[in-house]
Amino acid sequence: MDTSTILIISGLFLIISFLYSTVGFGGGSSYLAILSLFIADFNTIRTHALLCNIAVVTIGCTIAYRKGFLSLRRAIPYTIFSVPAALWGATFKLSQKTFFLLLGVALVLSAVALFFQVVRPVKPLEDRKRVLIRSVPLGTGLGFLSGLVGIGGGIFLSPVLNLLNWEEAKKIAGIASFFILVNSIGGIAGLAISGTVSVSMPFTLCVLGAVIIGGFAGSNISMKLFDALVIKRLTALLILVVGIKLLTEHI
């Protein structure tokens, strides 16, 4: 990969990580969308999306925990089986056509999920008696999808929790960040087990450096400076366009 392409991708990743981290996401779906425009090897795409996710949400989770927005007691039920499911999903050795079709579907679904998160008002649900019955299957299914295509899954979990009113709105970002972190780690472990981890220096170092800078800045800047709804709408538009593009090219 030539230097100019590396710089373009790194610049886009810095912006994406900055914006996503302000709303509690890692940016995996947009990393996948951008990488799919420049790189044909899907193992390289999955590896770098997961690594960048881990870098960004590690920062976000640390800050959220210190500020009291992340409750591990609330987050663990969603992640207890999602991690092995993500690891399992990442071990699947897909054909290039199958991967890009799955990625296209995942991106379109991500865009729809973000849209509904924007327009649906939420009211916290108080009844917690059946939390394990509902959260474990949801987390497991999203974990498997996360490992399969190379995202953390928070972009699905967050709007689902809002739509179903399963968690308090102010706690959802923290839960989603933790969900992304552990599933991305599980996904990388699955790629390692299957021998499909693909890194390339200096590209890997450049994009990781970019998302660390963007993630740190975004996680520390007050959301009062940004309109979260605008960020989510722009993100939904980006991943919807790329998702449709991938589907039309590989169907």
Give 62-92 pLDDT, tens digit per residue: 888 887 878 888 888 888 889 999 899 888 8
Structural domain for 107, as ranges: 3-250
Comparing 47-56, 148-157, 219-228, the range with the smallest average pLDDT is 219-228
3-state secondary structure 221-236: CCHHHCCHHHHHHHHH
Q: CB under 8 Å to 69, separation ≥6 — which residues? A: 170, 171, 173, 174
20, 155 contact by CB (below 8 A): no
User: Average of pLDDT values for 48-74?
Assistant: 88
Q: Is the confidence at residue 16, as pLDDT, over 80?
A: yes
Q: Is the confidence at residue 41, as pLDDT, over 80?
A: yes
For 178-219, what is each residue's pLDDT tens digit? 999 999 999 999 999 989 899 989 999 999 999 999 999 988
- Cα angle 68, 56, 94 (rounded to 5 degrees) comes to 125
Q: How far apart are CA 96 and CA 57, in angstroms?
A: 28
Q: How far apart are CA 40 and CA 242, in angstroms?
A: 14
* Tally of structural domains, the chain: 1
Q: Is the confidence at residue 26, as pLDDT, over 90?
A: no
